[in-house]
Amino acid sequence: MVTNMSDVLEKIAPPKASAISAPRRRISLVWILPVLAALIGLSMVVHAWLSAGPEITIDFQTAEGLEVEKTPVKYKDVTVGVVSAIALSYDGSHVTATVSLDKHAANLARADTRFWVVRPRIGLQGVSGIDTLLSGAYIGVDKGTSATPSRNFRGLEAPPTVVNGTPGKSFVLHADDLGSLDIGSPIYYRHIRVGRVASYRLDSDGHDVTLEIFIDAPYDHFVAAKTRFWHASGVDISLGADGLKLDTQSLTTVLAGGIAFGNAEEGGAPAPAKTAFELAKDQRTAMAPSDGDSQYLLLRFEDSLRGLAVGAPVEFAGLNIGRVVSLDLDYDAPARRFPTLVGVVIYPSRLGGVLARLPKYSGNSEQQAAAFLANLVQHGLRAQARSGNLLTGQLYVSFEFVSHAPNVALDPAARPISIPTVPGSFDHMQEQIATIVSKVEKMPLDAIGQHLDASLVDLDKSLKQVNGEVLPATTRSLQQAGLTFQTVQGALSDNAPLQQNLQQTMLQVQRTAQSVRTLTDMLGRHPDALLKGLPSDARLTEPTPSSTVSKEYAQ
Amino acid sequence: MTVQLRASTLGMVGCHLCGLVCEVPPDAAHASSCPRCGAALHARRPNSLARAWACLLAAVIFYVPANILPVMHTNMLGRGSDSTISTGIVEFWKAGSYGIALVIFIASVAVPCAKFLALGLLLVTGKRRTPWARRERALLYRLVELVGYWSMLDVLVVAIVAGIVKFKALADVEPCIGILFFGGVVILTMLAAMQFDPRITWDGNEHE
């Protein structure tokens, strides 16, 4: 206090020769500066120490795009760490990137957290990571749900399709084959893109493909227990009675494939996550009612079945009731023939309502079928390979009732059930065509041809003659004829002498005729005049009818 | 050799502010005021060595984070990178720009370090009042003062580049915390040089 007061007094007071000695305490104040600097520096160190999170290692196949101290690790586009070191593994099979996570992101390092390198990717489904073209790759993180922390991870080679925490549901699809589907292929519901394929794998037996799909909320509740899934890849063109119909989901599916789903029946409770569905090959198959039980039948065709393929339809009364499942060659030793054994599968439920009206037999379904079929075979049921397409020669199997068929008994106990066959309609036609062809072959085509050739040579000669000799003569005749006609025309014209002479002659004839009439009249009245001469009172002319006649002649 | 007369032996003190030479009784030399301008009279700057030491020490402490922490954040085509002074020098050197690397090295490593050493030397020898190489030490002090003006080269470079390079996503440069520490280093060394009273060099015995 006292010292401060003295300071103030010293400044106010006029200069004096003597002053109170300055306090020594001020010296220490200056040292606040380095202490302050040290504190700031220390605080930086402490801050860095505190903000440093755990170090984790991630194994990648390649370190492409990764740079030490530069490549960031991002979770939801927030930088949560940086690659601090990249090293090759001991055996050189992969690279190990050491990542320093930030303190606040320490809880990202869970056992099931996934890491992957975000690089620009260009595919049919679109372009992703385009920002990394300029900024360089970064490591993406998908936070796991596991409670156990982890320090060592195996990085994904491709970004995960479904990020944890995305609202929606996963489902499982079983398919015969993958088609053109791939991870990320879109899934459509009423042509709206509602999800994507998350993963696929071949089943261990190699027969089926199991796909995991993810449907985003809120569309996931449209997936009910009775939902049908089908391949929406490519273009579906159908030519029906109503014209050409082209059906496709979107241009993307045409190129890259996709899946669509629909509900055969409206309503139904949403299916729980991970429900398994079948993936049909197209919408019609998917939406078709379930086929139910199948029945295997064996058909034995004597003739060759070129054009019949596995999968070809089996029809009964114009209804598709099954398909061909196998084609095998058999050897008939006594006949030295190779008949074809065709295995078909039929679905009795495809017959529909009529199934209920069919007679019932005892036994299990196969025995029932055998008994029923034996009955039908007795009444002429035969299998026939028919031509479905004359252009391509595709065959299908048809069950028909054939009248006058040779009587064959079907043993109901034999397994597999074998239906007798008759040669196909196409075979008949082929035979007929063959007969025609053989007849045609028998015709002496060569001789006919030679004769025809000789005749043609003669004809050629005749034509030459006609050209060289006949034609000039004809021309000359025609010219003369023209001249003749001209002369005739001159002779026949009105003022021609012939015409006038004719007229005069006719007049003369007329007169002569008049004279003859007058003579005959007079002779009629006076027949004696020939002998006695003309009486004095006799008149030469009669006034009536004869005068009119004379007039007519005059005209 | 002629013996040089000193103000202290005559009991005279020059005012720092107006330059008036006052007569001060030897016992009251610490705290008297200039009769003309009223400023406090000191034979030497009070606590000159201690203050200079404090500033120098703070500067040395600041020099550590200035080198460790990034001074500049460059964002080029979406690709961001922090660069510290040392990485900058190395990168320029590797890229073949030896001239620029050299300039940065001199301005941000050689000069500050030289200043620390020079000031330390001046302070140590001043404290000891040794007559060793007084003229050279005076020259050194003038050099330190002279260089002081140019020590802000790094700070200026960062400030100008950060001001000019603003092309949004294409290229962006932002100053980082390190440059603040570097500026602190420069300012503190300049303060240390200012606090140091060069007359101290000449105090003490003429000859050992």
Q: What span, in angstroms and rounded, lies between the C-alpha atoms of A35 and A231? A: 74
Residues in chain B closer than 8 A to A26 (CB atoms): 46-47
Closest CA to A420 of A444, A434, A399, A436: A399
Which residue type does A19 have? A
* pLDDT tens digit sequence for A67-102: 888 888 888 888 888 888 899 988 888 999 999 888
Question: In whole angstroms, what is the distance from residue A300 CA to residue A332 CA?
Answer: 11
Q: From residue A446, give the alpha-carbon distance in Å to each of A386, A436, A443, A455.
A: 38, 18, 9, 14
CA distance B159 to chain A (A): 23
Chain B residue closest in CA terms to A35: B58
Residues in chain A within 8 Å Cβ distance of B188: 33, 37
Tens digits of per-residue pLDDT, A490-513?
Answer: 877 877 788 888 889 999 999 999
Instruction: Kindly state whether residues A180 and A147 are assigned to the same domain.
Output: no
* Minimum CA–CA partner of B38 in chain A: A15
Q: What is the pLDDT along chain B (208 residues), one digit of tens a residue?
A: 455 677 777 778 888 888 888 887 766 545 678 888 888 877 777 778 888 889 999 999 999 888 888 888 887 766 677 888 888 889 889 988 898 889 888 888 888 899 899 999 988 888 888 888 888 888 988 888 888 777 788 888 888 988 888 887 678 888 888 899 999 998 998 888 888 888 887 777 665 4
Res. A132 pLDDT band, cuts 50 70 90? confident
Rounded Cα–Cα distance for residues A432 and A145 (Å): 76
How many angstroms away from the CA of B34 is the closest CA of chain A?
A: 6
Number of compact structural domains in chain A: 4
pLDDT tens string A336-391: 888 888 999 888 888 777 777 878 777 777 788 888 888 888 888 888 888 777 67
State the smallest CA–CA distance between residue B194 and chain A in angstroms: 14
pLDDT per residue over A298-341, tens digit each? 888 887 777 788 888 888 888 888 888 888 888 888 888 888 88
Candidates B31, B54, B61; nearest CB to A30: B54
Would the CB atoms of B33 and A26 count as touching at under 8 Å?
no
Does residue A470 lie within any of the structural domains? no
- The domain boundary, picked from A125, A154, A183, lies at A154
Enclosing domain of residue A548: 497-554
Q: Do A37 and B30 touch (CB under 8 A)?
A: no
* β-bridge pairing A394-401 and A313-316: parallel
HEC letters along A476-524: HHHHHHHHHHHHHHHHHCCCCHHHHHHHHHHHHHHHHHHHHHHHHHHHH
Among A24, A30, A132, the strongest candidate for a mutation testing the B interface, having the largest count of B CBs within 10 A, is A30
Q: How far is A166 from chain B (nearest CA, A)?
A: 28
Provide, rounded to the nearest whole percent, the portion of chain A with pLDDT above 90: 9
Question: In terms of domains, do A199 and A119 share one?
Answer: no
List chain A residues with CB under 8 Å of B31. 10, 19-22
A421 shares a domain with A300: yes
Residue A469 lies in a domain: no
* Among B31, B35, B79, beta carbon nearest to A135: B79
Six-digit token string for B34: 């200039």
Per-residue pLDDT band for A481 (boundaries 50, 70, 90) equals: very high
Residues of A in contact with B120 (CB under 8 A): none
> What is the reported pTM?
0.49
Q: Is A484 inside a domain boundary?
A: no
Q: Is residue A474 part of a domain?
A: no
Residues A61 and A148 in one domain: yes
Sequence-separated (6 or more) residues with CB below 8 Å from residue A378: A407, A409, A410
Three-state secondary structure of B37-106 = CCCEECCCCCCHHHHHHHHHHHHHHHHHHHHHCCCEEEEECCEEEEECHHHHHHHHHHCCCHHHHHHHHH
* Structural domains in chain B, sorted by start: 1-43 (no CATH), 47-202 (1.20.140)
Same domain for A280 and A306, yes or no, is no
- Answer whether residue A99 is part of any domain: yes
- Confidence label for A7 from pLDDT (cuts 50, 70 and 90): low
CB contact under 8 A, B188 and A33: yes
Question: Any idea which residue has 């705290």 for tokens?
Answer: B31
Span A260-281, average pLDDT = 82
User: Looking at the structure, do residues A108 and A215 belong to the same domain, yes or no?
Assistant: no
Domain contains A239: yes
Cβ-proximal residues to A211 (8 Å cutoff; 6+ apart), any chain: A172, A173, A174, A175, A178, A181, A197, A199, A200, A259, A279
For residues A109 and A220, membership in a common domain is answered with: no
Task: Tell me how close the Cα of B207 comes to any Cα of chain A, in angstroms.
Answer: 30
Label residue A549 by pLDDT band (50, 70, 90): very low
pLDDT surpasses 60 at A294: yes
| Shared domain check, A412 and A536 | no
What is each CA distance from A452 to A444, A446, A458, A463, A466, in whole angstroms?
Answer: 12, 10, 10, 16, 21
Quick one: A260 and A312 in the same domain? no
Chain A nearest C-alpha distance from B183 (Å):
13
DSSP string, A436-485: HHHHHHHS-HHHHHHHHHHHHHHHHHHHHHIIIIIHHHHHHHHHHHHHHH
Residues of B with CB under 8 A from a CB of A: 24-25, 28, 30-35, 38, 40, 46-47, 50-51, 54-55, 57-59, 61-62, 64-65, 69, 77-81, 184, 188
Alpha-carbon distance of B182 to B174, in angstroms, equals 15
Within 13 Å and on the Cβ side, how many CA atoms surround A471? 7
Dist CA A321 CA A300 (whole Å): 19
Q: Kindly state whether residues A283 and A307 are assigned to the same domain.
A: no
CB-based contact A135 B80, cutoff 8 Å = yes
**Sheet strands (E) in A253-410:** 259-263, 276-280, 295-301, 313-316, 319-329, 340-346, 381-389, 394-401
Distance from CA of B35 to the nearest CA of A (A): 5
The C-alpha atoms of residue B55 and residue B191 are separated, in whole angstroms, by: 7
**For residues B45 and B54, is the Cβ–Cβ distance under 8 A?**
no
- In order of A355, A427, A444, A447, A448, the CA distances from A437 in angstroms are 47, 15, 13, 18, 17
Name the domain boundary from A232, A253, A287: A287
Query: E strand or H helix at A212, and its extent?
Result: strand A209-216
Same domain, A189 and A264: yes
SS3 content of chain B, % helix, strand, coil (to 5): 60, 10, 30
Q: Are A372 and A361 in contact (CB under 8 A)?
A: yes
Best residue of B47, B87, B119 to probe chain A, by most A CBs closer than 10 Å: B47
Chosen domain end from A435, A454, A473: A435
* Nearest chain B CA: its distance from A131 CA (Å): 8
Please give the residue of chain B at the shortest CA–CA distance from A29: B51
Looking at the domain assignment, is residue A483 inside a domain?
Answer: no
**CA-to-CA dists, residue A135 to A66, A70, A257, B137, B170, angstroms:** 12, 10, 32, 53, 10
Determine how β-strand A192-202 pairs with β-strand B171-175: unpaired
Instruction: Using a CB–CB cutoff of 8 Å, tell me whether A39 touches chain B.
Output: no
CB pair distance less than 8 Å for A18 and B28 = yes
Across the interface, of B33, B58, B64, the residue whose CB is closest to A34 is B58
Q: Are residues A348 and A419 in the same domain?
A: yes
CB contact under 8 A, A26 and B47: yes
Contacts of A41 in chain B (CB under 8 A): 61-62, 64-65
A18 close contact with B: CB closer than 8 A:
yes
A515 falls within a domain: yes
Q: How many residues does chain B have?
A: 208
